[in-house]
Amino acid sequence: MNATRARDALQAGAQGLALALLGWTASIVLFVLSVVSIALIPIGVGVFTTPAVLTLVRAHADRRRLFAAEWADLHIPVPYRPHPRDLRTGITGQVERCTLMLKDGATWRDLKWLLVDMTAGAATAILAPGLLVEGVYGIALAAGLWTAVYDSADGAWWYDFIPVQGWRTAFLAGLLGLFWIVLGLYVNRALVTAHFRLTRSMLAPDSRVKLAQRVDRLTETRHDAVDTSAAELRRIERDLHDGAQARLVAMGMNLGTIEALIEKDPDQAKKMLATARESSAEALTELRDLVRGIHPPVLAERGLGDAVRALALRLPIATEVDVEMTGGRVGAPVESAAYFAVSEVLTNAVKHSGADRIWVDMHHSAGMLRVSVTDNGSGGATAGGGSGLSGIERRLGTFDGVLAVSSPAGGPTMVTMEIPCELS
């Protein structure tokens, strides 16, 4: 336990030193560049420099968000407004880009954060390594270093509030140094966490901004849902027209011919009856496949877990499915969205990953349905890229769900989906 605490305190001290140095270097430089660049906008120069400088500021802030997640398990939202896809190029586009960034409230929160990060943020972070260094220095004084510093000093050598003038005061300095080290063992992690909490208070959007972002998000996902529904309806109409409908029309024509031949040529009529029977069976199969594509019967009858297990059994790759959903079922719309999302991910894994094993883990906890699909393939998938993952992201976004992809080169690939919902 003591070794673990000491290791964690040393790690927090190193993290605090890195955060303080970032505050006193990158934050100061970026704040000065931002102020100068914005001040030069009236003469035209700032129009070209400000977007570049603010992009660096955002990258610096995003790096701090990443550190907060990795070092303190604190999530700091990314509130930047996306630029329009049809943003123009050239001077006009540059002016528009500069205007959009300056109108974004997150830009001004970033600038205020830079000011805080170079002062209070850096001071909070530097305390973590400072306690350990100050403690080691006090112990070193007690171990004999005081003789060297005392000889070179004019009068007493002060260690904090202790004037080191002999072995007795050096021993007191050593005790104080030991106190600083023990204190650091217990508070270093809290100091680093306090730094990130201060960062979150500056970078995170307020409730009004969150509400506006929520409205924008719902508007976007509503449009996606409408477009997806329209595309799905067109697919169903096309499949009916080209598949089952064509077979049923052909079967009706064959039955008319059979009716004319049944007395004149019974043998030919029998052959055509066999063909009609085959056509009816094929049409029924196509209709069943079409219905399964709209809403699989096993999903309606047995729920999401069994539907995914049935889906896995049809795959050409060995697939393990682990489901923990005790206490009921999620709503039918969420079940359908999750099922088809998992189906798409599994299809991508079979087609593109080169894997020979797939694992599906599905569980519900704390009002959230979480599904992860992992394969041991070659990796390289991205959430915003191809392979259908962007479509899955839009499908989940309709229910305020999220998609995360971890797929380093060489694999493995893990696709994680989360949808807020309750069991019933």
Three-state helix/strand/coil letters over the chain: CHHHHHHHHHHHHHHHHHHHHHHHHHHHHHHHHHHHHHHCHHHCHHHHHHHHHHHHHHHHHHHHHHHHHHHHCCCCCCCCCCCCCCCCCHHHHHHHHHHHHHHCHHHHHHHHHHHHHHHHHHHHHHHHHHHHHHHHHHHHHHHHHHHHHHHHCCCCEEECCEEECCHHHHHHHHHHHHHHHHHHHHHHHHHHHHHHHHHHHHHCCCHHHHHHHHHHHHHHHHHHHHHHHHHHHHHHHHHHHHHHHHHHHHHHHHHHHHHHHHHHCHHHHHHHHHHHHHHHHHHHHHHHHHHHHHCCHHHHHHCHHHHHHHHHHCCCCEEEEEEECCCCCCCHHHHHHHHHHHHHHHHHHHHHHCCCEEEEEEEEECCEEEEEEEECCCCCCCCCCCCCHHHHHHHHHCCCCEEEEECCCCCCEEEEEEEECCCC
The per-residue pLDDT for 347 is 84
Q: Burial, 226: exposed, middle or buried (Cβ in 10 Å; 0-12, 13-18, 19+)?
A: exposed
Whether 383 has a pLDDT exceeding 50, the answer reads: yes
What was the pLDDT predicted at 18? 94
- Does the pLDDT of residue 419 top 80, yes or no? yes
pLDDT number for residue 387: 47
Domain boundaries, the chain: 2-203, 208-294, 300-420
CB contact at 8 A, 67 and 196: yes
The residue with greater pLDDT, 416 or 228, is 416
Q: Work out the average pLDDT over 7-27.
A: 92
Residue 24's pLDDT band (cuts 50, 70, 90): very high
pLDDT of residue 334: 82
150 touches 157 (CB < 8 A): yes
When mean pLDDT is compared over 116-120, 281-285, 389-393, the highest value belongs to: 116-120
pLDDT digits (tens, 9 = 90+) for 39-85: 999 998 888 999 999 999 999 999 999 899 889 888 888 778 776 66
Tens digit of each residue's pLDDT (9 = 90 or more) over 128-165: 999 998 888 888 888 877 677 666 556 567 778 888 77
- 214-267 pLDDT tens trace: 666 666 656 555 555 556 566 666 666 666 666 667 677 777 777 777 777 777
Tell me which of 383 and 388 has the higher pLDDT.
Answer: 388
Report the alpha-carbon distance of residue 399 to residue 218 in Å, rounded.
Answer: 9
Quote the tokens at residue 254.
């064959």
pTM of the model: 0.56
Model pLDDT, residue 77: 82
**Class in CATH terms, 300-420:** alpha beta
Looking at the predicted structure, is the pLDDT value of residue 376 above 90?
no
pLDDT of residue 378: 79
pLDDT, tens only, 99-134:
888 888 889 999 999 999 999 999 999 999 999 988
Ramachandran region, residue 272 (left: φ > 0; alpha: ψ -120 to 50; beta: rest): alpha
Q: What pLDDT, on the 0 to 100 scale, is given for residue 56?
A: 93
